[in-house]
Amino acid sequence: MTAPTLICSKNQENGLNIKKMKNSDSIGFKLLDQFRDGRNDKIWWRVFALLMIATVATRFYKLDQPDHVCWDEAHFGKYANFYINRTFFFDVHPPLGKMLIGLFGYLDGYNGSFHFDKPGDKFEEHQYMGMRIGCAVMGALLVPLSFLTVWEMTFSLPAATFGGLLILLDHGMLTLNRFILLDPPMLFFISAAIYSMVKFHNQRHRPFSLPWWSWLSSIGVMLSCSVAVKFVGIFVVIFVGCRTIADLWEILGDLSRPVSYTVKHFMARAICLIAMPTLLYMGIFYIHLAVLSNSGPGDGFYSSAFQVGLKGNYLHDGSTPRQVAYGALLTLKNAVTSGAYLHSHDHLYPEEIGGSQQQITTYAHKDDNNNWHVKRHNKLAPSWNSTRPIDFVRNGDLLRLEHFATGRNLHAHRSLAPITIKQFQVTGYGLDGVGDNNDIWRLEIEDGEEGQILETMLHRFRLIHYNLGCALTCTKKKLPAWGFEQDEVTCNPNRRDPNAIWNIEENIYPRLPNVSFRAYEKNFFQRFIESHVVLINGNSALKPKEGEATSKPWMWPINLRGQFFSGGQLQVYLLGNPIIWWGNLVFMVFYLILWVSVGVRTKRRITVTQREIMLQERALSACGWLWLGWLLHYLPFWGMSRVLYFHHYFPALLFSSMMSGILLDYVIESIPLSLPKNSFNASYAAILSATLLILFYSFYLFSPLVYGLVRYADTNSTMHHLHWLSTWEF
């Protein structure tokens, strides 16, 4: 499964072409032969230049249109603002892509003043072009990268040209890469990683040389960048991993070298593909956290200790006693992602919910109703000016929590919780702190030792109901209007529920010395790890809502349904070029058939001509890897439970288009073989031009989808006849 080497493949090509040259006389055929040969630098550069011109033309034409926010620009533009204003935010993707967008905007002089509220908002005088251009440049680079990748894999100029053309002429790739989105940087890094990989592979005869090292490190850099844009970058890491293992396996099999030679190779890869990218990735996060130093809308997603580090957050300058003592006034925060404060207010549960006792909820905002008095289960809270020794709250203690404003105790009993009916209801009960046995909770500090003193912020703990044995939990389900749409709090018999963990945020107790909150501030590694926990939770929490129309992975390759980027007067609709997409599917099946038939032929020792073997080897070895890449970037989506979108297919499309390019070349080379000999060049030229014509025409046909389709009220618009599938909505 190795790509043919530069030297041998060129020789083979050469040998073939000399034969063909004989019966080609006209200049056109000569050019054609040179094109097929690909060794002629002049032709090569001309083709490349043509491709580049076309790329620039298509990617930058009418880039400023539509001049309003399109689709997810609303998100990513906003994130760019946050970077420019250095305010902290939360998003489910790692930061690099957004950092780049922010950088593009910054370089262009954009000051982060546009709000990106919702799709359709006019940009007006704001500097949005910098960001668009930055993304478009990264997206445009996909074309030369695919061209070069295919070239390095096959050393066939027609194959490379097709590979580049299929990316160039695909409306989906084009549309996706013209807007302020994460996809252009991500696709760029993925392609660059693949290109570096094949380039590195072709250096294998000169191991440890300078180009060898630089391409190897380039793989590592690109890998960590792709992961740092979106987590789907993991798939390309796996892809490169497979390739690396295969390479090492080859090297190990070379008995003329000692084992230590393999170890040397292994170490080089371990450094450049594992250690260095990891460091780089952490570095990106370091910049991310360093840049976003001001408090912002993302604070609430992170733990109290994390928020301490954000300027402008009320925790940043606050101070509080470190240890918690009986009698202190506390706020309890649910310690999971975007946890809220334990809250109560002077309203009862409705009659039909049962109990008619006071509501307990969680509430995301600071409020006096979040304050609780902590006291021993059998004593009143000591007053703040008492002189008796301070009684600390310790792990395993039995305690009561009294709501400061209403004097009710945190209480649970054997009736159904309002929404999660499998759990018990939690209420506020009692009068002025006098309640009953069902107010008693046992404190269990996570990984704490018996008798350990509870500490503000640093300790995470559970409150276990003494009588029922259940744990105080926030179910994160919204209560209806009677509960002011705050979140439900229950007592959960499953004590291992991650939502049952709380921490103390504020701790007011004058008898103990205050410590600045800064003492709890997390260091970079803790922040790095917490960011990831929050990111991963955030991603898995993106579940499709009931009844919402979601995009399913099976719809993607068949181009079943696109995605509206912009509605209104100027429609932009993300849809693949159907000719290319459906062609890709055909070629994918074709590859499997070819693969099996070659397998059968080898097994049955059926002989074929040398030329056929050469052609097939060239196609098969390269396509095998691309096919694997496609699988790795497509199959995992079948098992994902998060919300999926059409544009998730585009990394896989990169692989599939490059593969189609190679197979197209194979087919165009093979078909004339079955025709009479002397008509080779003529038929080759005919098929080639027909293919190109179809590709260009289909591009022309659907191009209004990219550059903006003026919406007509009636159904007789120019685009109407293009509804090849009834599911296309433009």
Partner 1 sequence: MGDTEVKNRKVNRNKNKNEKNKEIPNPAVDPRDEGDGESTPEALPEELTEEPILKKSASPKKSEKKQRKAGSATAGQSLADLPTLAVTCHFNLLPMLLFGVALATRFYALDQPNSIVFDELHYGRYAGLYQKQTFFFDSHPPLGKQLLALAGYLGGFQGDFKFDKIGSSYNASVPVFAMRAVPALTGSLLIPLVYMIMLQLNYSQWTAALAGFLFLFDNALLTQSHYMLMEPIILFFAMSGVLCVLKFRALERSGNAQAHSYSLRWWGWLLSGSIFLTCALCVKYVGVYSYLLGLALVGHDFWEKVLGNLSLTKKQVFGHAVARFFAFFVVPLMVYIGVFYIHLTTLVNAGPHDSAMSSAFQASLEGGLSSIVRGQPLEVVHGSQVTLRHAHGSPCWLHSHAANYPVKYADKRGSSHQQQVTCYVAKDINNWWIVKRPNRTDLAVAAPLDRISHGEEIQLVHGITGRNLNSHNVAAPASPTKQEVSCYVDHNVSMPAQDVWRVEITNREEIGDVWHALESMVRLIHVNTSVALAFSGRMLPDWGHNQHEIVGDVMVNQPNTIFNVEEHRYTRNEDEKDRQLELMTTDFIPLEPVVMGFWEKFFELQIRMLFISNENVQNHMYTSSPWEWLVLTRGIAYWVSPDSNAQIHLLGNIFIWYSATIALAAYCSLLVFYLLRQRRQCFDIHEEAWNQFRTTGEVLLLGYVFHFLPYFFVDHTLFLHHYLPALAFKLLLNAALVEHLYYLTRLVFAKQFFNWMCVLIVLTWMSGILMVFNKFLPLCYGLGPMNATQILDLKLRETWDFIVHKP
Applying CB under 8 A, among 387, 523, 641, 674 the residue interacting with partner 1 is: 641
Applying CB under 8 A, among 480, 510, 513, 568 the residue interacting with partner 1 is: 480
CA–CA gap between residue 545 and residue 540 (Å, rounded) = 13
Q: Which is nearer to partner 1, 308 or 479 (CB)?
A: 479
Alpha helices in 141-275 (DSSP H): 142-154, 157-168, 171-176, 183-201, 210-229, 233-252, 259-269
CA–CA gap between residue 47 and residue 38 (Å, rounded) = 10
For position 437 contacting partner 1 by CB under 8 A, the verdict is no
Cβ 728 to partner 1 shortest distance, Å: 9
Cβ 252 to partner 1 shortest distance, Å: 5
Cβ 244 to partner 1 shortest distance, Å: 15
Read out DSSP for 640-677?
A: --S---GGGGHHHHHHHHHHHHHHHHHHHHHGGGGS-G
Burial letters 315-347, b for 16+ CB under 10 A, else e: bbeeebbbbbbbbbbbbbbbbbbbbbbbbbbee
CA–CA gap between residue 122 and residue 360 (Å, rounded) = 44
Q: Which is nearer to partner 1, 27 or 259 (CB)?
A: 259
Q: Is there a cis peptide before residue 66, judged by omega within 30 degrees of 0?
A: yes
Q: Which is nearer to partner 1, 34 or 563 (CB)?
A: 563
Cβ 603 to partner 1 shortest distance, Å: 5
φ, ψ (nearest 5 deg) of residue 725 = -110, 140
Chain centroid to CA 588 = 26
Taking CB under 8 A as the criterion, which residues in 517-576 touch partner 1? 545-549
CA–CA gap between residue 81 and residue 689 (Å, rounded) = 48
Instruction: Please choose, out of 140-148, 279-287, 442-450, 603-611, the segment that lies near partner 1 by the rule CB under 8 A.
Output: 603-611
Q: Which is nearer to partner 1, 493 or 708 (CB)?
A: 493
For position 249 contacting partner 1 by CB under 8 A, the verdict is yes
Instruction: Please choose, out of 316-324, 336-344, 349-357, 491-499, the segment that lies near partner 1 by the rule CB under 8 A.
Output: 491-499
For position 255 contacting partner 1 by CB under 8 A, the verdict is yes
Q: Which is nearer to partner 1, 388 or 603 (CB)?
A: 603
CA–CA gap between residue 82 and residue 298 (Å, rounded) = 10
Cβ 669 to partner 1 shortest distance, Å: 28
Q: Which is nearer to partner 1, 72 or 669 (CB)?
A: 72
Pairing relationship of beta strands 358-363 and 341-348 according to DSSP bridges: antiparallel
Q: Which is nearer to partner 1, 41 or 352 (CB)?
A: 352
Applying CB under 8 A, among 111, 386, 494, 678 the residue interacting with partner 1 is: 494
Instruction: Please choose, out of 95-103, 125-133, 353-361, 632-640, the segment that lies near partner 1 by the rule CB under 8 A.
Output: 632-640
Applying CB under 8 A, among 352, 481, 593, 674 the residue interacting with partner 1 is: 481
In 3D, which of 333, 345, 373 has the Cα closest to residue 479?
345
Instruction: Please choose, out of 145-153, 247-255, 362-370, 668-676, the segment that lies near partner 1 by the rule CB under 8 A.
Output: 247-255
Pairing relationship of beta strands 358-363 and 371-376 according to DSSP bridges: unpaired
Q: Which is nearer to partner 1, 283 or 480 (CB)?
A: 480
Q: Which is nearer to partner 1, 366 or 478 (CB)?
A: 478
Q: Kindly list the distances between the CA atom of residue 236 and the CA atoms of 148, 153, 561, in Å, as whole numbers in the listed order.
A: 18, 17, 26
Cβ 608 to partner 1 shortest distance, Å: 16
Beta-strand ranges (E) seen in 364-440 are 371-376, 398-403, 409-416, 424-429
Alpha helices in 61-128 (DSSP H): 73-85, 96-107
Cβ 170 to partner 1 shortest distance, Å: 24
Instruction: Please choose, out of 164-172, 217-225, 489-497, 653-661, the segment that lies near partner 1 by the rule CB under 8 A.
Output: 489-497
The partner residues of 570 in beta bridges, in order of sequence, read 710
Q: Which is nearer to partner 1, 350 or 407 (CB)?
A: 350
Applying CB under 8 A, among 245, 290, 600, 613 the residue interacting with partner 1 is: 600
| Angle between helical axes of 610-634 and 650-670 (0-180°, round to 10) | 170
Taking CB under 8 A as the criterion, which residues in 156-215 touch partner 1? none
Burial letters 180-202, b for 16+ CB under 10 A, else e: bbbbbbbbbbbbbbbbbbbbbbb
For position 497 contacting partner 1 by CB under 8 A, the verdict is yes
Cβ 467 to partner 1 shortest distance, Å: 8
Applying CB under 8 A, among 496, 593, 674, 721 the residue interacting with partner 1 is: 496
φ, ψ (nearest 5 deg) of residue 360 = -120, 130
Cβ 434 to partner 1 shortest distance, Å: 25
For position 636 contacting partner 1 by CB under 8 A, the verdict is yes
Instruction: Please choose, out of 79-87, 274-282, 569-577, 597-605, the segment that lies near partner 1 by the rule CB under 8 A.
Output: 597-605
For position 352 contacting partner 1 by CB under 8 A, the verdict is no
Applying CB under 8 A, among 42, 210, 253, 447 the residue interacting with partner 1 is: 253
Evaluated on CA atoms 470, 474, 478, 483, the torsion sign reads positive
For position 645 contacting partner 1 by CB under 8 A, the verdict is no
Structure letter (DSSP) for residue 453:
B
Q: What angle do CA 303, 284, 308 make, to 5 degrees?
A: 25
Asked if residue 295 lies in contact with residue 316, where contact means CB atoms within 8 angstroms, the answer is yes
**How many residues lie near partner 1 (CB under 8 A)?**
34
Query: In this structure, what token pair is assigned to residue 10?
Result: 């060129």
In 3D, which of 487, 468, 490 has the Cα closest to residue 477?
487
CA–CA gap between residue 92 and residue 229 (Å, rounded) = 11
Question: Is 351 buried (19+), middle (13-18) or exposed (0-12) by CB count in 10 A?
Answer: exposed
Cβ 259 to partner 1 shortest distance, Å: 7
Cβ 564 to partner 1 shortest distance, Å: 10
CA–CA gap between residue 105 and residue 291 (Å, rounded) = 15
Instruction: Please choose, out of 500-508, 523-531, 595-603, 621-629, the segment that lies near partner 1 by the rule CB under 8 A.
Output: 595-603
- SS3 of residue 164 by DSSP: helix
Q: Which is nearer to partner 1, 258 or 510 (CB)?
A: 258
- SS3 of residue 556 by DSSP: coil
Applying CB under 8 A, among 640, 643, 673, 686 the residue interacting with partner 1 is: 640
Cβ 423 to partner 1 shortest distance, Å: 9
Instruction: Please choose, out of 33-41, 303-311, 327-335, 602-610, the segment that lies near partner 1 by the rule CB under 8 A.
Output: 602-610
Instruction: Please choose, out of 152-160, 223-231, 251-259, 586-594, the segment that lies near partner 1 by the rule CB under 8 A.
Output: 251-259
In 3D, which of 152, 203, 111 has the Cα closest to residue 3?
152
Q: What are the counts of helices (DSSP H) followed by strands (DSSP E) for the chain? A: 22, 17
CA–CA gap between residue 152 and residue 429 (Å, rounded) = 74
Cβ 698 to partner 1 shortest distance, Å: 23
The partner residues of 174 in beta bridges, in order of sequence, read none
Taking CB under 8 A as the criterion, which residues in 699-728 touch partner 1? 715, 726-727
Binding track over 667-706 against partner 1, x by CB under 8 A: ----------------------------------------
Q: What angle do CA 358, 399, 404 make, to 5 degrees?
A: 45
Taking CB under 8 A as the criterion, which residues in 406-435 touch partner 1? 420, 422
Cβ 451 to partner 1 shortest distance, Å: 18
Q: Which is nearer to partner 1, 22 or 605 (CB)?
A: 605
Q: Where do contacts with partner 1 occur on this chain (CB under 8 A)?
A: 249, 252-253, 255, 259, 420, 422, 469, 480-481, 493-497, 545-549, 599-600, 603-605, 636, 638-641, 715, 726-727, 729
